[in-house]
A and B are shown apart, each in its own frame.
Chain A
Amino acid sequence: MQALIEYAPLLAEGTGVTVALAVLSLALATALGALGAAAKLSGMLAADWTARGYTTLVRGVPDLVLILLIYFGGQRLVNTVGGALGFEYIEISAFWAGVFAIGFIYGAYLTETFRGAYQSVPKGQREAGFALGLSRGAILWNVQIPQLVRFALSGYANVWMVLVKSTAVVSVIGLADLVGIADKAGKSTRQTFTFFLAVLLVYLAITAVSEFLFARAEKRANRGMVR
């Protein structure tokens, strides 16, 4: 207990790293998910196949394997290309490798979430927009997306919950996130159980807060609907 209090500031820092990693990964995953869904819905064969290859790859390979590939392989690739272009040695940090890998992985899951949500918005909504003479962009932004949010939210919340837990794995490539710091602190104080138990509780707290926030968001997204 004494040791835990001593390390509390470091653990808080680690929690900050974990949350930042999760939030940035979610942002990247959202962008990739939107892109993937657009590709699948575009009707263009090449785009559809690329998106399909992307989601198939991600579903077949465990997260840690992709993280290691992006961290070690990406490092080599960036420097092979960078070296040819005359750049100096570029180092990818564990943090950014984690953001890219986790964003890449969950972008594939969000592709499906967004595609499903887009298709759940009744066609008539879009047709009504056309009838009113709105541009395609205006229809997407003002008519379809606000309604799409309602359908996508529960899937989005689910992806977030899984994504947060997935960030723990980034500690394997040396990131000083919550797990990485607890690992070091636990081993140096010989109180590994105490520290990992604390980590468990922090993750539970993050989950509980997220559940609360998503419940509120869902209420807000459904404010126009009658039960």
Chain B
Amino acid sequence: MKWHLVLENWDKFIEGVWISLHLTALALAIGFLLALPMALAMYRGSRAAPFARGFVYVFRGTPLLVQTYLIYYGLSQFEWVRGGPWWLILREAWWCALIAFSLNSAAYQAEILRGAFATTPRGEIEGGKALGLSERLVTWMVLLPSSLRRALPQYGNETVFMLHGSVVASVITIQDILGAGRWLNARYYVVYEGLIAAALLYMVITFALVGVFRLIERRYLRHLAPPKDDAADAKPAPKGMLATAMR
């Protein structure tokens, strides 16, 4: 094994880590902005709800790889796509990956948020109404803060899955962590080193993320933790993270 190759090319891997994290974080953020109105529509059963449900069904029911291919390779089939000003964006692998990941994450987040909205105790909403808050204020000051807390463990899972899903970027030529590993293997004709280095990096980042989410949960789900005095013999708080880590 020639591990010195990995050390000598550490800058490629650092670049890869940056690209993977950056892509994941942006996709999650854009996904959230898209998911929120969809989740509200589904929760309220408004006229847009069937469309939101259709979007969620299609994007959750099909592989991220195919969604990415459809945008990156597929859209160039149309003359008007290649002719328009949007071609500046749609011809770039990076933007196509970001669009695909954002849409995919939006579908999963919409479902997470819808579930969290639906499990809001009725009394909280009624309390807001009884205080004379408008529907809009009830949404912003009661429904959202309460639901986002409850959605935290699933958000941890979604973050890990978006990170893991982002390897698809390397398939469409982006130099993310896996891209760096594959580059190393191809450049030096080795089999294990680059891939194992990539695997270890993904593992370290995954468990760091899990740790961060556990800290956030400890802060925002404090009211669900066991009382302090019998904390010694109490069972550890229910671990949301990775207990159901899959989608």
Which residues in chain A, 11-70, are within 8 Å of chain B measured between CB atoms? 57, 59-66, 68-69
Q: Are B178 and A64 in contact (CB under 8 A)?
A: yes
In the assembled complex, A109 has its CB within 8 A of some CB on chain B: yes
Stretch touching chain A among B30-38, B39-47, B191-199, B219-227:
B191-199
In the assembled complex, A169 has its CB within 8 A of some CB on chain B: yes
- Which of A60, A72, A172, A203 is in CB contact (< 8 Å) with B171? A172
Q: Are A193 and B66 in contact (CB under 8 A)?
A: no
Main secondary structure of the interface of A (DSSP, over half): helix
Chain A residue with minimal CB distance to B63? A168
Which residues in chain B, 153-193, are within 8 Å of chain A measured between CB atoms? 160, 163-168, 170-171, 178, 181-182, 185, 191-192
- Which of A64, A76, A197 is in CB contact (< 8 Å) with B70? A197
In the assembled complex, B122 has its CB within 8 A of some CB on chain A: no
Q: Are B178 and A192 in contact (CB under 8 A)?
A: no
Q: Are B191 and A76 in contact (CB under 8 A)?
A: yes
Most buried by B among A60, A65, A68: A65
Nearest-CB distance from B194 to chain A (Å)?
Answer: 9
Q: In the complex, what distance in Å separates the CA atom of A188 from the CA atom of B60?
A: 29
Interface residues of B, count at CB 8 A = 45
Q: Are A69 and B195 in contact (CB under 8 A)?
A: yes
Stretch touching chain B among A82-90, A125-133, A179-187:
A179-187
Interface residues of A, count at CB 8 A = 44
In the assembled complex, A190 has its CB within 8 A of some CB on chain B: yes
Q: Are A62 and B247 in contact (CB under 8 A)?
A: no
Which residues in B have some Cβ–Cβ distance to A below 8 Å? 57-58, 61-67, 69-70, 73-78, 160, 163-168, 170-171, 178, 181-182, 185, 191-192, 195-196, 198-199, 202-203, 206-207, 242-243, 245-247
Additional pairs, 5, CB under 8 Å, beyond known A59-B160, A59-B242, A61-B206: A162-B247, A168-B66, A169-B65, A192-B74, A193-B77
